[in-house]
A = this chain, B = another copy of it.
């Protein structure tokens, strides 16, 4: 593990994440909300929070607009390093309804289309902030009607600055990231299968590599992580055993763990196994956290100790 350079995390479709605590989830009735928590959210924002908690320099880049966006920018800026690109489009909201007994219900607004000049400014910020040897992350959904070339532009701006790019999204933008030769894709198993049309997750990974991705790490929840690179390296990592709690945000924590472990290293046979192990440990910390997506660095060593020694990386590109 080398000292990580600054990670630039782009969240194209940020949200004000609202959690309503209720006594009981019911349909078709008036449900009294006992307690309301609001915080700036979106997958990339969660990644930035965990990176910051891990001591990795990170900056969150996202468009914000309207009254919700003003609150978002002020509140996020108090927590992490953030660059908010002003937009005439209001920042969306998600509402999670949590009875602390059954699984929360999440209502996810789709967001509104952003004008082209906002995307120009977001790409410009990536060009300005990305550092040689560092990482750029593009994480989460895209707003409706986002131009298909946005992901390719973000990858190109990052590569132009000498940075590597991790893309964590789904559907057509995931394929676009592969075709733009993103260095690392981190879909979950459903997203990998759905974007490629492959029934089997390993076939889906191979499809993404064939499209042009440098490497793919697939999260399979309790079944752990699976990774392959375009050069033929492969690794698997079991999830930390005996961990239960709130899985919301565990994937974003895993992404932060991956980047912390990779540091300035390329994704290779040598770097992959320890990076997956760290991803599994940080994800487990997020599952244990009272606040969805947070990860307490103090519990990481104990979680790591629960894991078996990492399986050997199989550097198939070095085989005869």
A contact residues vs B (CB 8 Å cutoff)? 18, 20, 22, 25-34, 36, 66-68, 70-71, 92-93, 95, 97, 102-110
Q: Are B107 and A95 in contact (CB under 8 A)?
A: yes
Given A27-B25, A67-B70, A71-B67, A33 and B104 touching (CB < 8 A)?
Answer: no
CA distance A93 to B25 in the complex (A): 18
Q: Are B67 and A32 in contact (CB under 8 A)?
A: no
Q: In the complex the two chains form, what is the Cα distance from A102 to B92 in whole Å?
A: 26
Contacting pair A108 B33 (CB below 8 A): yes
Do A108 and B27 have beta carbons less than 8 Å apart? no
User: Which 10 pairs of residues, A with B, have the shortest CB-CB distance?
Assistant: A67-B67, A28-B103, A30-B106, A67-B71, A33-B109, A25-B27, A31-B107, A27-B105, A36-B109, A28-B102
Cβ of A27: which chain B residues have Cβ within 8 Å of it? 25, 27, 102-103, 105
Asked whether, in the complex, the Cβ of B106 is within 8 Å of the Cβ of A22, the reply is: no
Q: List 26 A-B contacts (CB under 8 A).
A: A18-B93, A20-B95, A22-B107, A25-B27, A26-B105, A27-B27, A27-B105, A28-B102, A29-B103, A29-B106, A30-B106, A30-B108, A31-B106, A31-B107, A31-B108, A32-B108, A32-B110, A33-B107, A33-B109, A33-B110, A36-B92, A36-B109, A67-B70, A67-B71, A95-B95, A95-B107
Q: Taking chain A's interface residues, is the majority helix, strand, or loop, or is none over half, making it mixed? A: mixed
- The CA of A187 and the CA of B297, in the complex, are separated in Å by 54
CB nearest to A36 among chain B residues: B109
Quick one: closest B residue to A70, CB to CB?
B67
List 15 extra interface pairs beyond A20-B109, A28-B103, CB under 8 A. A18-B93, A25-B28, A28-B102, A28-B104, A28-B105, A29-B106, A31-B105, A31-B106, A32-B108, A33-B108, A33-B110, A36-B92, A66-B71, A67-B68, A67-B71
Q: Is the CB of B29 within 8 A of A105?
A: yes
- A163: min CB distance to chain B, Å: 31
- Which residues of B are found within 8 Å of A28, using beta-carbon distances? 25, 102-105
**Complex alpha-carbon distance, A25 and B105, angstroms:** 10
Residues of B within 8 A of A29 (CB): 103, 105-106
Q: How long is the Cα–Cα vector from A102 to B29 in the complex, in angstroms?
A: 10
Q: How far does the Cβ of A199 sit from chain B's closest Cβ, in whole Å?
A: 23
What B residues does A68 contact at CB under 8 A?
67
Give A51 Cβ to nearest chain B Cβ, in Å: 24
Which B residues touch A31, using CB under 8 A? 105-108
> Nearest chain-B residue to A33 (Cβ)?
B109
Report the separation of the CA atoms of residues A316 and B105 in the bound assembly, to the nearest whole angstrom: 55
A107 touches B20 (CB 8 A): yes
